[in-house]
Amino acid sequence: MKIAMPVSLSPNSLPEGERDTGSLREVPIKRIVILISGRGSNMQAILEARLPVKIAAVISNKADAKGLETAARHGVTTAVVYHKQYSNRTDFDTALAAKIDEFSPDLVVLAGFMRILTPEFVNHYQGRLINIHPALLPAFPGLNTHEKALQEGVRIHGCTVHFVTPSVDHGPIIVQAAVPVLPDDTPDTLAARVLEQEHLIYPQTIRWFAEGRLTLEQGKVTVRTGGACAAALRSPWEA
């Protein structure tokens, strides 16, 4: 694969020896660190998407996070920074950032990482910290998004990948995927429909990043996909 131009979200040096100097590649392989707290299905989708990146590490704030086993099975380095070992949020975030930075990431990927992050942490990774949220932001930030969507009676729901800012579930939107809300939906059926889309758009985002198609300038995201604009999404759907 030939990568035409460097991604410029964050200049980040790569350890000697991991630089790809082959003639086909013009940029170093991007290094990714993924943060999880639990199941890790988004992380798994990223690991299995055969992306042109180096997954440098998967880090969890909980030793029993299921996703750690999956990561280890995929041969990825794992680490735990247990939040309860720190007396306050700042100390935890400082330790977490120190651990992350051992892996020199170009991009830090929050994949079900259930901790509120301090502004200092977020600013440290400005432009290279992304999150996936199971709703069409800015609708339904926070927890229990599928329950909230059903309570509000929305007809279209979905998921969002965005750059992280100090406000929770907020920041420049990279990509969204929409799904219909069906009359018999429960939070679980709706969650499953949304999760299927999460597993597509999160790896896609990282691919765009790796291929230099993603730019963040003055709070706005541009994605050079080369594809045509999709048709409008409407619900109820006409037969």
- Interface residues with ligand GRF (CB under 6 A)? 36, 38-42, 111-112, 132-134, 159, 195, 198
Catalytic residue among 83, 133, 146, 157: 133
Q: Give the nearest distance from C-beta 68 to ligand GRF in angstroms.
A: 11
Helix, strand or coil, per DSSP, at residue 80: strand
Smallest gap from residue 192 Cβ to ligand GRF (A)? 10
Q: Residues 170, 141: contact at Cβ < 8 Å? A: yes
**Residue 149 Cβ, how far from ligand GRF at the closest point, in Å?**
13
In angstroms, give the least distance from the CB of 34 to ligand GRF.
10
Instruction: For the beta carbon of residue 88, count every other beta carbon within 10 angstroms.
Output: 9
**Annotation says 133 is catalytic:** yes
For ligand GRF, the nearest residue by Cβ is: 112
The residue among 81 and 135 lying less far from ligand GRF, judged by its C-beta, is: 135
CB of 38 or CB of 212, closer to ligand GRF? 38
Q: How far is the CB of 160 from ligand GRF (least distance, A)?
A: 9
Of the pair 3, 44, the CB lying nearest ligand GRF is at 44
Own/partner pairs for 146-151, CB < 8 Å, 24+ apart?
A: 146/187, 146/188, 146/190, 146/191, 146/194, 147/187, 149/181, 149/190, 150/181, 150/185, 150/186, 150/187, 150/190
The DSSP secondary structure of 136-199, one letter per residue, reads -TTSS-SS-HHHHHHHHT-SEEEEEEEE--SSTT-S-EEEEEEEEPPTT--HHHHHHHHHHHHH
**CA end-to-end span of the chain, whole Å?**
41
- Please say which residue, 112 or 212, places its beta carbon nearer to ligand GRF: 112
How far is it, in rounded angstroms, from Cα 220 to Cα 194? Answer: 25
Peptide bond into 236 cis (omega under 30): yes
Closer CB to ligand GRF, 97 or 177, in the complex: 177
Cα–Cα distance, 206 to 55 (Å, whole number): 11
| Residues taking part in catalysis | 133
